[in-house]
């Protein structure tokens, strides 16, 4: 056989490289995780509070050098310790293929958290990769290690859209293999559908992002993980207007059961029905509210659910069904009927 190959003409040999599968395969890469400061991150923030009138930072030390905010329990939360972190965690899985249409999964953490720790502890990067929807993760820091759900800059109209544009540029730095690839990668990320995942206290910034973030046409779905302690009307209004292009899925413990019932009723008043079990396939228009047990599950809910790996399970359910293989039908050939033998001249009846 080697001798035969050596005697092949040059034209045949020239066709061999074209036959390689390298172009069809995804480029090999390592997973990338970075925490970077963003201009349009939720914090720092010195604007008004959610009433639009009173200042968000409503405590000033006598010397004027330190500002803070009175928390829900009466404790002062100081700006330099709680509200000064502009970090945003970005993660690109090793399986991400920039040549395929991408998704952006944006994660909002809960109380008492730093974003790098919660992403690590809840194994979000693994869940994202195993969901296999060709997505990247964007997770901003809100109030750091404090019991506060304040959205910060995300209270302001249009800021979330600017945040997504900034994320697209930062992700391009990590994804594009060359300068020539940058425009295409950035453009794909800027039009990528966004799936918003909120845990616990992340419910509040998520509600304001949906109402006034300026990226409504890109929101393809919302996943609430025991994350509804209020703002039911904002969620109901959003889904009533977005259900043709987006889904709303809420997995919850007894901690938020009362608020879930309120939201379900407000959707019902808008003639929107909802499921009480997680569908195998999640599509635009899906509304599902799934009770998952006692409040003791709340702290580890992002990882342990149930179901185990809830982010992976829900994201995987959004994958479109595989295209059905069309089996070509064989043409039907009409059978020829046997003709009676021709009668000769001398044939009698």
Q: Mean pLDDT in each 10-residue stretch from start to end of the chain (349 residues)?
A: 35 40 58 97 95 92 88 92 97 94 97 95 97 97 96 97 98 93 96 98 97 96 97 98 97 97 98 96 97 96 96 96 73 60 53
Per the CB < 8 A criterion, the answer to whether 307 and 225 are in contact is no
Q: What is the dihedral of CA 200, 123, 35, 210, to 10 degrees?
A: -40
Residue 339: per-residue pLDDT: 61
Q: Catalogue all structural domains in the chain, each as residue range(s) with its CATH number.
A: 26-41+85-317 (3.40.50.1820), 46-82 (no CATH)
Quickly tell me which residue has 């009676």 as its tokens: 340
Residue 64: per-residue pLDDT: 78
Residue 176 DSSP symbol: -
Residue 50: per-residue pLDDT: 87
Distance between CA atoms of 331 and 335, rounded to whole angstroms?
Answer: 12
Residue 150: per-residue pLDDT: 96
Residues paired with 195 in a beta bridge:
105, 221
Please work out, in degrees rounded to the nearest 5, the angle formed at the alpha carbon of residue 40 by the alpha carbons of 35 and 45.
105
Residue 344: per-residue pLDDT: 54
Per the CB < 8 A criterion, the answer to whether 226 and 252 are in contact is yes
Distance between CA atoms of 251 and 237, rounded to whole angstroms?
Answer: 20
Residues paired with 68 in a beta bridge:
59, 78
Q: What is the dihedral of CA 297, 302, 306, 308, to 10 degrees?
A: -130
Per the CB < 8 A criterion, the answer to whether 99 and 133 are in contact is no
Distance between CA atoms of 292 and 226, rounded to whole angstroms?
Answer: 9
């Amino acid at each position: 056989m080697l001798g035969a190959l050596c005697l092949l003409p040059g034209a045949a040999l020239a066709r061999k490289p074209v036959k390689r599968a390298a172009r069809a395969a995804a480029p090999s890469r390592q997973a990338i995780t970075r925490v970077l400061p963003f201009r349009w991150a939720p914090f720092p923030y010195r604007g008004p509070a959610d009433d639009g009138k009173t200042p968000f930072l409503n405590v000033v030390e006598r010397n004027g050098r330190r500002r803070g905010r009175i928390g829900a329990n009466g404790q002062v939360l100081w700006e330099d310790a709680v509200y000064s972190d502009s970090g945003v965690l970005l993660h690109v899985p090793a399986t991400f293929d920039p040549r395929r249409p991408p998704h952006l999964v944006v994660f909002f953490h809960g109380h008492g958290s730093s974003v790098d720790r919660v992403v690590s502890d809840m194994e979000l990067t693994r869940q994202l990769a195993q969901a296999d929807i060709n997505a990247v993760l964007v997770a901003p820091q809100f109030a750091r290690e404090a019991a506060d759900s304040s959205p910060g800059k995300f209270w302001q109209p249009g800021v979330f859209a600017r945040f997504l544009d900034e994320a697209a540029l930062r992700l391009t730095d990590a994804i594009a293999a060359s300068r020539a690839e940058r425009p295409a990668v950035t453009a794909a990320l800027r039009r990528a559908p966004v799936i918003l995942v909120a845990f616990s206290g992340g419910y509040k910034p998520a509600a304001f992002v949906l109402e006034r973030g300026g990226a409504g046409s890109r929101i393809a779905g919302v996943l609430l993980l025991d994350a509804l302690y209020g703002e039911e009307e904002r969620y109901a209004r959003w889904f009533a207007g977005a259900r043709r292009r987006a889904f709303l899925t809420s997995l919850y413990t007894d901690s938020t059961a009362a608020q879930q019932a309120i939201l379900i009723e407000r959707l019902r008043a808008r003639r929107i029905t909802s499921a009480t079990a997680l569908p195998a396939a999640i599509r635009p228009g899906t509304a599902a509210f799934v009770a998952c047990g006692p409040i003791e599950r709340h702290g580890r809910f992002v990882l342990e659910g149930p179901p185990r790996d809830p982010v992976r399970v829900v994201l995987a359910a959004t994958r479109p069904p595989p295209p059905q293989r069309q089996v070509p039908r064989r043409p039907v050939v009409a059978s020829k009927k046997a003709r009676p033998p021709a009668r000769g001249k001398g044939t009698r009846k």
